[in-house]
Chains A and B, each alone.
Chain A
């Protein structure tokens, strides 16, 4: 059980790096509370795997400290830290049975046989694997193997945190739901800190209480899933979270009015715009509604995507592409239409950073 703190942490794969560009991980401070469910979300190369490897002890950071309950473990090897990890591709010991796989970490630590047995059966019950304990691990399906790798972490009574490195990559979509809700349920039941690395926003948002969005070696925003969705602190967060991402349009803003491509749009709040910065407004497709021609801002319709339970309009506002929702009652959509942006959900960004408005 542990609280994890990253203090002034930074890492570069080059020796003696000084320029910010040399750092795969730029200096950061983060605190993760005991028992939390966290996700590290970002595209490949954003530094999320480097950060995970620093926490697990596979990489020693160039600077800064990694504190587990206040104790600096930055230079301790993996096996001396109370962490477990589930990898992208299932790692099981092929020649062992499921039971032996689960018992392995305990036996290695010299636990008495009776205690091992009790613990293994307890975890197998949690994982719904009691029926498969005697089977050889190698014949199992990918999702069962991932459950075993998770079980090898959970079985240790001393484990402080479990790290997940894109654990659902090789699992079929329908099984992902099962495995993910199992994971959530286990997290609630066991009070273990879980850190989940992924590039998949759905996995990150649905799994975590707090999602840490990373971009280019930096943490751009850390917050609850609904916060990230409703108030993206950076245009990158707006783009990366949501499918499709937030519409970001160059604009000029004065008070509570924004000018986009010749059209004037009313804003909910007033803004003091810093001079000399690139000003953009951002609005999610969920809050941009397609309307009949003549209503809102005039746009041209490129196409309508049918997503099954909803429709998405691909529009063009002068030279800018815009995605918008299509209300169920709207039919007979022509080549031109109107676009209504909900003022409550329009954000103003200066050089990519979100500005706070005033009433």
Chain B
């Protein structure tokens, strides 16, 4: 089943929670809603589920090439399942009964319920916990139980609202890895809300970035990551935060914030004169001079963070306050002078309205 939001908008009182949004989720795909807290992820999901009614616009379900208007249809009459950030299970029912509960409501025969629950438990690696009570399980097992219950319904639309947020890092990593496989097997259209860009990339499939109640871009995750259409999308989809450098282009030169000039090379060559913002992610800011032309800035280390084989170096320089990701261990005291390098062919260029003016070509992952 595919889901179509057709010019959907939602106002609550004088506030607009969701601005007019059109979104088409193809059947059997997974869509990640990526955005900060309060960006409207949950509001949008509630509209999709039918928990809230849009102020204007239509919600359509697409089946076998035909569209059916379901706007206003209550959630109970839609084929929808939802999993929340908190682990919500029936505390007085065993894991087996928890997973079985949607099937019991449907009134399925006993043997069939038994078979389905065991198959789902195998998929979610809960087989050995079926007789336990949810509250005696770890957070990861509880959340897997909740997800199993949502998936076993065989609902056409499964909504996952930051389901991994309350889990331990490693568990999150494992579930994140299993999730695309589980989704493929369930055949449902899945919507997954998260605040973490990395999660959107790992889950693959499609991503819709959200900002202040607006969908800023929708497309295959890797494409949104590599060709963000505007500055806001690029910022949402960058962790560590996107580094920015304001420049003014005049002829063959660019004017930098500290008043100095540099030749307009790389991405900047073909652009009209005017004000631009150069955006580059942490791994695009180098601590070593690359071969060929580069812009370089002298600055000071604010703080350096070592994450295993890599280091995040926060730098304060004439261009701004930036984060560089470098492989290797850089143990640098705050205040240490440092030079950072930007390769002008690898940066995003945004015009003064924040629209993408140039994106680097990505032949492979760089």
Contacts and interface: CB of A to CB of B under 8 A. Distances in A.
Given A172-B37, A177-B323, A306-B365, A225 B302 contact: no
B292 interface: no
Interface stretch (A19-27, A70-78, A240-248): A240-248
Contacts of B365: 306-311, 326, 328
B336 to A, nearest CB: 12
B180 to A, nearest CB: 9
B173 A243 contact: yes
Tell which of A200, A284, A306 has the most Cβ of chain B within 10 Å: A306
B364 A328 contact: yes
A322 to B, nearest CB: 14
B138 A240 contact: no
Contacts of A229: 308-309
Q: Chain A, interface size: which category?
A: 35 or more
A225 B366 contact: no
A206 B312 contact: yes
Interface stretch (B3-11, B192-200, B257-265, B337-345): B192-200
Nearest to A230: B309
A286 interface: yes
A306 B309 contact: no
B308 A241 contact: yes
A245 B222 CA distance: 23
Given A174-B36, A177-B241, A286 B309 contact: yes
Contacts of A286: 309
B168 A44 contact: yes
Interface stretch (A7-15, A104-112, A180-188): A180-188
Contacts of B312: 206
Interface of B: 36-37, 138-139, 168-171, 173, 177, 195-198, 201-202, 204, 222, 225, 235, 238-241, 281, 283, 302-303, 305-309, 312, 314, 323, 325, 329, 333-334, 364-366
Interface of A: 43-45, 142, 172-174, 177-178, 180-181, 184-185, 188, 199-202, 205-207, 224-226, 228-230, 239-245, 284, 286, 305-311, 326, 328-329, 331
5 contacts: A172-B37, A199-B170, A245-B170, A307-B201, A307-B202
Given A174-B36, A185-B302, A225-B307, 10 more contacts: A44-B168, A172-B195, A177-B239, A202-B169, A205-B308, A206-B307, A207-B305, A306-B204, A308-B225, A309-B365
